[in-house]
Amino acid sequence: MLLVRYSEIGLKSAPVRRRFENQLKDNILTMLMEDGVEALVSKNGARFYIEASDEERAVSSVRRVFGIASVSVAEECASSRMEDICAKAAEYSLPRLTDGQSFAVKARREGSHGYTSMDVGREAGSAIFLANEQKGVRVDLTDPDVVFYVEVRENRAFVFGDYVRCHAGLPVGSQGKVIARVDDDRGLVSAWLMMKRGCRLTVCGSGDLDLLRRYDPLIKMGESNPNALGYVLGTSLDELGSVDVTRYNVPVFFPTMGMTDEEVSDIAGTIRAGL
pLDDT of residue 245: 85
Degrees to nearest 5, angle at CA 149 with 197 and 119: 125
Q: Give the per-residue pLDDT at 208.
A: 83
Is 172 a domain residue? Answer: no
Domain termination residue (choose one: 46, 76, 106): 76
CA separation for the pair 214, 65 (Å, rounded): 9
pLDDT at 207: 81
My answer on whether 182 and 267 are in the same domain is: yes
Which pLDDT belongs to residue 17? 93
Query: Looking at residue 223, what is its pLDDT?
Result: 84
Q: What is the pLDDT along the chain (275 residues), one digit of tens a residue?
A: 899 999 889 888 999 999 999 999 999 999 999 999 999 999 988 899 999 989 999 999 999 999 999 999 999 999 999 999 999 999 999 999 999 999 999 999 988 899 999 999 999 999 999 999 999 999 999 999 999 999 999 899 999 999 999 999 999 999 999 999 999 999 999 999 999 999 999 999 888 888 999 999 999 998 888 889 999 999 998 888 888 888 888 999 999 999 999 999 999 999 998 87
Claim to verify: residue 189 and residue 265 sit in the same structural domain: yes
- The verdict on 189 and 268 lying in the same domain is yes
> Are 143 and 201 in a shared domain?
no
- How far apart CA 220 and CA 182 sit, in angstroms, is 13
Q: How many folded domains does the chain comprise?
A: 3
Instruction: Residue 135: give its domain's CATH number.
Output: 3.30.2130.30
Same domain? 61 vs 85 = no
Whether residues 145 and 228 share a domain: the answer is no
Residue 41 lies in a domain: yes
Residue 162, in any domain of the structure: no
Kindly state whether residues 182 and 265 are assigned to the same domain. Answer: yes
249 within domain boundaries = yes
Q: Pick the closest to residue 158 from 50, 40, 74, 52 (CA basis).
A: 74
Query: How crowded is the C-beta side of 29, counted as CA atoms within 13 Å?
Result: 10
- The contacts found for 30-35 with CB under 8 angstroms, 24 or more apart, are 30/217, 30/218, 31/61, 31/62, 31/64, 31/65, 31/217, 32/58, 32/61, 32/62, 34/61, 34/217, 35/60, 35/61
Domain boundary at 154, 186, 218, which? 154
In a domain, 265, yes or no: yes
Does any domain span residue 161?
no
* Distance separating alpha carbons of residues 155 and 124, to the nearest angstrom: 17
Boundary residue ending a domain (38, 56, 76): 76
CATH of the domain at 43: 3.30.70.1510
Does residue 199 sit in the same domain as residue 114? no
CATH number, residue 200: 3.40.50.620
Is residue 47 located within the same domain as residue 63? yes
Residue 266 lies in a domain: yes
Specify which residues 160 forms β-bridges with: 74, 149
Same domain for 205 and 147: no
Residues 267 and 181 in one domain: yes
Do 96 and 147 lie in one domain? The reply is yes
Q: Which residues contact 219 (CB under 8 A, 6 or more apart)?
A: 200, 201, 202, 203, 209, 212, 213
Q: Containing domain of residue 117, as a range?
A: 80-154
Q: Is residue 57 part of a domain?
A: yes
